[in-house]
């Protein structure tokens, strides 16, 4: 990443990032904090031990409405995603993805059923394309609108519930993957119990004008520290979570990526989404390759793009994410391997700067998930 942030979009928290000593870098067209003064490892550990506050306002927040109770909107969205959207109860969230005709993943997203439609959060780098995709796919069936001014905060870590319940006691009893509308620091917010770190926590959609005041209020709590993109990436990697455009893209299917759990039974049986036949065939027969965890031997990290080889020197896969796992205390990586080599403890080598480094296939996640369970 270049350090130049000229001519980039800014989130509602830009001034606060600068005040806190954020090292700003370009990311998906925005100036975003890579880290703050404490550094990436300290911010990672802060989130695992207590609570970290992330600015994710660059992501796309989309409302879908059919002018009624949202039933028609839910049915319409099923033409674009393999999730059972119609089965979602109001206030419940579901992870899904847009697929193409080859079964590849265009983007992954979170879908929440609201009282009168759907609330969808998409990735920043894809949000313009996703908006156009939704508008074309739902034309005449539902209205689609993206709010470009709203803020989105993520409060993550084992102390997140205790912290946020000081502002709104009702959030403490929220189930995992649920959403409520509640006032926080005087601002109307959508609060979902979800996140991208493997920890318990919340994502908070807040009007842009109120985002900085809410962030300051949360950072005033003793358990909370600011966290940038660097630790966000190391946290999600340890949690075995995919990064769109890296671990999943238009050439990878949900089955290859180990995301078939996000395709509910009715959609597997009925299809009706792009790439359904490819995906259903892979569900029945198994894919030719699979996403795996990798534990490199030694202390050297194995980065994205490294070629993976078997014992005979043949290329059998590629690393899609890699780095040092502060909670694990060792390098960790994810990538794709031929299905016959995807079993845990299989030994492969990664080609790093001309040297072959031994790696063992490992179970995911590297750090145990600690989501709130009902």
CA 175 to chain centre: 19
HEC sequence for 314-341: CEEEEEEEEEEECCCCEEEEEEEEEHHH
* Mean pLDDT to the nearest integer, 19-43: 98
Contact between 370 and 199 under an 8 Å Cβ cutoff? The reply is: yes
Superfamily the domain 260-362 falls into: Aminomethyltransferase beta-barrel domains (2.40.30.110)
Domain boundaries, the chain: 14-57+150-238, 260-362
Q: Tell me what percent of the residues of the chain surpass a pLDDT of 70.
A: 99
Strand order in the sheet with 60-65: 93-99, 105-113, 117-122, 60-65, 143-146
Q: Which residue has the tokens 């965890």?
A: 293
Q: Are 27 and 11 in contact (CB under 8 A)?
A: no
Residue 1 pLDDT > 50: no
Q: How many CB atoms lie within 10 A of CB 29?
A: 14
pTM: 0.97
Same fold, 14-57+150-238 and 260-362: no
Q: Of 3.50.50.60, 3.30.1360.120, 3.40.50.720, 1.10.340.30, which CATH number belongs to 14-57+150-238?
A: 3.30.1360.120
pLDDT reading at 196 higher than 50: yes
Measured in whole angstroms, how far is the alpha carbon of residue 34 from the centre of its chain? 17
Model confidence pLDDT, tens digit, residues 266-289: 999 999 999 999 999 999 999 999
The predicted pLDDT at position 3 comes to 53
| Cβ neighbourhood burial of 53 (10 Å; 0-12, 13-18, 19+) | buried
Q: Which residue has the higher pLDDT, 3 or 305?
A: 305
Q: Provide the phi-psi class of 267: left if phi over 0, else alpha when psi is between -120 and 50, else beta.
A: alpha
- Tens digits of per-residue pLDDT, 102-111? 999 999 999 9
pLDDT at residue 2, rounded to an integer: 47
User: 4 pLDDT exceeds 90?
Assistant: no
% of the chain surpassing 90 pLDDT:
98
Quickly count: other Cβ atoms within 10 Å of residue 283's Cβ: 15
Q: Which residue is it, tokens 């390098």?
A: 331
Q: Cis before residue 365, ω within 30 degrees of 0?
A: yes
What pLDDT is recorded for position 361? 98
Residue 316 pLDDT class (50, 70, 90 cuts): very high
- pLDDT band at 156, cuts 50/70/90? very high
The predicted model gives 302-325 an average pLDDT of: 98
Burial of 28 (0-12, 13-18, 19+ CB in 10 A): middle
End-to-end CA distance of the chain: 40
User: Across residues 186-209, what is the average pLDDT?
Assistant: 98
The confidence score (pLDDT) of residue 289 equals: 98
Tell me the β-bridge partners of 98: 107
């Amino acid at each position: 990443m270049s350090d130049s942030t000229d001519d980039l979009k800014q989130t509602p928290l830009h001034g606060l990032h600068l005040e806190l000593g954020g090292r700003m870098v370009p990311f998906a067209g925005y100036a975003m904090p890579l880290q703050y003064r404490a550094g990436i490892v300290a911010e990672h550990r802060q989130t695992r031990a207590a609570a970290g506050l992330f600015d994710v306002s660059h992501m796309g927040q989309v409302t879908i409405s059919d002018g009624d109770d949202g039933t028609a909107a839910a049915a319409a969205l099923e033409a674009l995603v393999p999730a059972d959207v119609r089965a979602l109860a109001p206030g419940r969230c579901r992870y899904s993805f847009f697929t193409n005709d080859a079964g590849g993943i265009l983007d992954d997203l979170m879908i929440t059923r609201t009282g009168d439609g759907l609330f969808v959060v998409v990735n920043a780098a894809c949000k313009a394309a996703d908006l156009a995709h939704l508008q074309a796919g739902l034309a005449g069936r539902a209205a689609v609108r993206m709010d470009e001014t709203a803020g989105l905060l993520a409060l993550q870590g084992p102390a997140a519930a205790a912290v946020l319940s000081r502002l709104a006691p009702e959030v403490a009893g929220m189930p995992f993957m649920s959403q409520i509308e509640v006032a926080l620091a005087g601002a109307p917010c959508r609060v979902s119990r979800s996140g991208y770190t493997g920890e318990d926590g919340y994502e908070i959609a807040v009007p842009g004008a109120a985002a900085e005041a809410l962030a300051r209020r949360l950072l005033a709590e003793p358990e909370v520290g600011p966290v940038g993109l660097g630790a966000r990436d190391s946290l999600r990697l340890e949690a075995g979570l995919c990064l769109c455009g890296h671990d999943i893209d238009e050439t990878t299917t949900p089955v290859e990526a180990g995301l078939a759990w996000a395709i509910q039974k009715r959609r597997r049986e009925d299809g009706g989404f792009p790439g359904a036949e490819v995906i259903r065939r892979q569900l029945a027969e198994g894919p030719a390759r699979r996403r795996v965890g990798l534990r490199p031997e030694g202390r050297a990290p194995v980065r994205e793009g490294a070629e993976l080889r078997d014992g005979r020197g043949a290329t059998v896969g590629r690393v899609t994410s890699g780095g040092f796992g502060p909670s694990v205390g060792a390098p960790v990586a994810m990538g794709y391997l031929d299905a016959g080599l995807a079993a845990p403890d299989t030994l492969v080598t990664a080609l790093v700067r001309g040297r072959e480094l031994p790696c063992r296939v490992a179970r995911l996640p590297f750090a145990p998930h600690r989501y709130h369970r009902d």
